[in-house]
Amino acid sequence: MKTFVLLALVAACSAAVFKVPATQSGSLRAKLISEGTYPQFLATQHAARIEQLNSGSQPFLDYFDDFYLGNITLGTPPQPATIVLDTGSSNLWVIDAACNSQACNGYPDSGYKKQKFDTTKSSTFTKETRKFSIQYGSGSCNGYLGTDTITFGGLTIKTQEFGVATHLAEVFGYQPVDGILGLGWPALAVDKVTPPMQNLLPQLDAPLFTVWLDRKLTISQGGSGGLITYGAVDTTNCDSQITYVPLTAKTYWQFALDGFSVGTFSENKKDQVISDTGTSWLGAPNTVVSGIVKQTKATFDWTNELYTVDCSTMQTQPDLVFTIGGTKYNVKSVEYILDLQLGGGKCALAVFSMGNGGFGPSWILGDTFIRQYCNIYDIGNARIGFANAHHSF
C-alpha cells in the first residue's frame, strides 16, 4: 500500500484556496522492527505477492513506512474517516461498517480502531449494483460502489462516487487508515469513476494543488507532517521559484527523468518517473540501486530486507542528483538515510528496486523526494512543478 495522508482537517480558507495541515503517523516499519515482528510481517507479504503474481498482477512494491494522514467526512449526517491522500491512484474507498474481519476492524496491537462507514445511517447514500476491486502493492480491497456527499479540506462534493470495501487484505489491519483517496488522473481510476479532485476543480481559484511534507529527526516520530494547499501554490513553505515540466502521461503524475547521479556513479538514460505521495521511499531501476549501494557503502540486512549504512554517515553521504527538464535536483542524505531504530548504529537506505518488466514508469519519487522539494500538481496545464521546501532544520 502506498502512503501519503493528511490529518486534522481544520481548513484555513481564503477565497477558493484551502490550506490543510498534515499529521505524520510515524513509521509502521520502525514500529514492527522495535516489536520484533517485522520478519513475520514480511513473510505474510511475500505470500500475498506470490498470490498476486499467480493471478497475473504486477503491482508496485510497498514498503510500509511513514504515513501522512488526513480526515474526510462522508454522508448525512457526516461520518469521519482517516484516509491516504495518494497521487499514485485515482479512486476513493472507505470501509463498510458491515465488514467485521480483523483487517476491517484493525488489529489490537496496531493501536488504531478503524472508523467504518455505516451506509444505513446516511440519508444521502445511494448504493450501486456495480462492484469494485483494487489491487495495491501490499494487497487488495473490494466491495461495491455508491455515491454520497464527502467533505475534505473545507471542500464539499455533493455527489461523489466511491467504493465501500467489504473485504480488505490483512496489511490494512496494521495501518492507521480507513481508506484511500486517489489524486491521480481519471484514466487511472478503476471502473471509470471520476476522482474527487476532478469534481473539486470548479470550486478552486486555480486547478492545482501543492504538497509540502515536513522533516522529522527520526522517521518513527509522529505529529505535524506538512501541508496540502488546494487551489494555489504554497508560498509559505515553498520557494517562489518553481520549475515546471510537462507530463508524459495523464494517468499517474508521470514525467521524464533525463539522468541521475550519486558520487562517481551516473546514468544518463531517459526514463519515465512518477511523483507519488503514497510511496514513502524512492523506487529506482536495479542498476541505479546497485550504484547507490556502492557509493554509500551500504550492506543488505537480510532479516529486515533493506540496505543499511552507519547512522553516523546520515549527514555526510553524497547527494542523489536527479536531472529533470534540464534542472538538477539534489536530495540530501538526511532525506534518504532514515533512522528506523534498527539498532547497532545502523540506519536504512530509503531506496528500493523497481521491477516494471518494461511496462510503466521506471522510477517512483516518493516522500523522500517530496520532503526536499514541494510538488505542485498542475491539473489545468498537465504539468508538475518543483520548488525547494522550507524546513526548520
Report the interhelical angle of 38-54 vs 28-35 (nearest 10°). 120
SS3 82: strand
Active site residue 239: no
Q: Using alpha carbons only, give the angle 59, 64, 65 rounded to the nearest 5 degrees.
A: 130
What is the distance between the alpha carbons of residues 61 and 130, in angstroms, rounded to a whole number? Answer: 28
Q: Is the peptide bond before 196 cis (omega within 30 degrees of 0)?
A: no
SS3 52: helix
SS3 85: strand
What is the distance between the alpha carbons of residues 252 and 381, in angstroms, rounded to a whole number? Answer: 15
Q: Are 351 and 284 in contact (CB under 8 A)?
A: yes
AA identity, residue 319: D
SS3 186: helix
What is the distance between the alpha carbons of residues 108 and 119, in angstroms, rounded to a whole number? Answer: 25
Record the cell numbers describing residue 187, joined without a space: 484514466
Catalytic residue among 276, 339, 367, 378: 276
| Eight-class DSSP state of 116 | -
Record the cell numbers describing residue 207, joined without a space: 486547478
Active site residue 191: no
CA distances from 267 to 264, 288, 358, 359 (A): 10, 8, 18, 20
AA identity, residue 155: L
Question: What DSSP line would sit under 281-330, residue for residue?
Answer: SEEE-HHHHHHHHHHHT-EEETTTTEEEEEGGGTTTSPPEEEEETTEEEE
Catalytic residue among 65, 66, 86, 378: 86
SS3 120: helix
User: Which amino acids are annotated catalytic?
Assistant: 86, 276
